[in-house]
Each structure stands twice: as C-alpha cells, then as structure tokens.
Chain A
Amino acid sequence: EVQLVESGGGVVQPGESLRLSCAAAGFDFSTDGMTWVRQAPGEGLEWVTSISARGSSTDYADSVKGRFTISRDNSENTLYLQMNSLRVDDTALYYCVKFGCGGDCFDYWGQGALVTVSS
C-alpha cells in the first residue's frame, strides 16, 4: 500500500523558513516523480513544484520560484520542500503527491502538512 506521510508543518512569521518532509513507502520511490500541491484554507488546489525520479529535473510555480526548493533523498525514500522567505499567502495545507500514469497524473496523495504564516 502506498503511503505518503508529511511532517514539518507549523506556524512561522513572515520572512522565516520551514522545511517539509514526506516519508514514502509502499512503492519504488526512486522510479517516480514527486510533487507538492498546496491548498489554502477554503480554497482550491495549487500545484507548487515537481521533481523527477532521480532529482535531476525540477519545476516551480511562479508564485514560489526563487523561494522554495524541492529535493529528494532516494536512499531514504524521502521528499523535501525547503520554504524560505515565507509570506502570509503561503499559508496552506501542503500535500505530498506521487506522479503516476506514466507521469501524467497525481495518483497518490498524503494527508497534508499545515503551514501557517502569520505575524
């Protein structure tokens, strides 16, 4: 059974940093691309960033480019999201998501880690 468990969420002030982790299990982590998707309270889904299976390729939404960094440790089956210069509008539930369907869809989602940016 595929499991994706996020951790590292919390409350921070604007301008501060936070690192999310996602522990993966139940599949060959090193062969699948991974993604972070966020959802602000009461709002819709927003794609944030993706990373290829080996970590050699990354893409970012314009809203986080230059502030967030996605990375992965395939030896530890763990995905990371380093978030710097956090803003109030980064407040959201951050989902760790696995690419599936040959890279064409998001087939498994974690339960999310809540990040609150508030002064």
Chain B
Amino acid sequence: QSALTQPASVSGSPGQSITISCTGTSSDVGDYNFVSWYRQFPGKAPKLLIYDVSKRPSGVSDRFSASKSGDTASLTISGLQAEDEADYYCASYTTSSTWVFGGGTKLTVL
C-alpha cells in the first residue's frame, strides 16, 4: 500500500488561508469517506483534527475545514496563526481493510 501523496511543505503568512492536498486512489480516498487529518508538533503525538472527510471533533477550531473530490482530499486552515506551524497528515481506510497515511506536510507560518 503506497502512502497518500501530500506536498512536502506549504507556507503562508499570518491571517492567510492555506490548503493541503492529499491524493490517493480509487482504492482508498476515492472509495471511502473515512478520511481524517492529524496535526503533529515536534516531539509530540499526533492529534485528530478532522474525521469522515470534513467533520471536526469537539474542541477543534472552526478555522480548520476539509473536503474531498474524487481521489483527493484537502485540508484548509484559515486565519493562519503562528501556532499552526506543525506537520499535518491525512489518513484513509483502504479496500484492503488497512489504513494508509499521507507522507506529511510541514506547514511554515512566515
């Protein structure tokens, strides 16, 4: 199972919006709405941001939104803040009854 494809890095200035893409195949992202997103700060465990493509767990800021079109899912962070600087990962269930993560995207706030 190949990793989902994410850009290695994205950047934005405070207050701006950025979008991170997550491209899979018809065997994972394209076939299920079980796409989730995680944020990881250096030296810390990942934290759930989004599940079921676009749902936010309680306590997650509404600055985080997500969607899916075909084999590609996207995470958008609006009103970028310095504290958003972290690594972001997508994940999807697959037709092989396994899970696959994206390679991760490093977000830099300029």
Interface residues of A (CB under 8 A from B): 35, 37, 44-47, 50, 59-62, 95, 100-101, 104-107, 109-112
- Using Cβ atoms and an 8 Å threshold, which residues of chain A touch B91? 45, 47, 105-106
Size category of the binding interface on chain B: 20 to 34
Q: How far is the CA of A37 from the CA of B55 in the complex (A)?
A: 22
- Using Cβ atoms and an 8 Å threshold, which residues of chain B touch A62? 1
A101 contacts B52, C-beta separation under 8 Å: yes
Interface of B is mostly: strand
List residues of B (57-88) whose CB comes within 8 Å of A's CBs. Answer: 57
The verdict on A61 contacting B57 (CB below 8 Å), with A104-B34, A106-B36, A109-B46 known, is no
CB distance from A82 to the nearest CB of B (A): 19
CB distance from B48 to the nearest CB of A (A): 5
B52 contacts A35, C-beta separation under 8 Å: no
A59 contacts B98, C-beta separation under 8 Å: yes
A105 contacts B98, C-beta separation under 8 Å: no
Of B45, B97, B100, which contacts A112 at CB under 8 A?
B45
A105 contacts B47, C-beta separation under 8 Å: no
B89 contacts A111, C-beta separation under 8 Å: no
Q: How far is the CA of A45 from the CA of B99 in the complex (A)?
A: 11
- Using Cβ atoms and an 8 Å threshold, which residues of chain B touch A111? 45
14 contacts between A and B (CB under 8 A): A35-B99, A44-B3, A45-B38, A46-B101, A47-B99, A59-B97, A95-B45, A95-B46, A104-B36, A105-B52, A106-B46, A106-B91, A109-B45, A109-B46
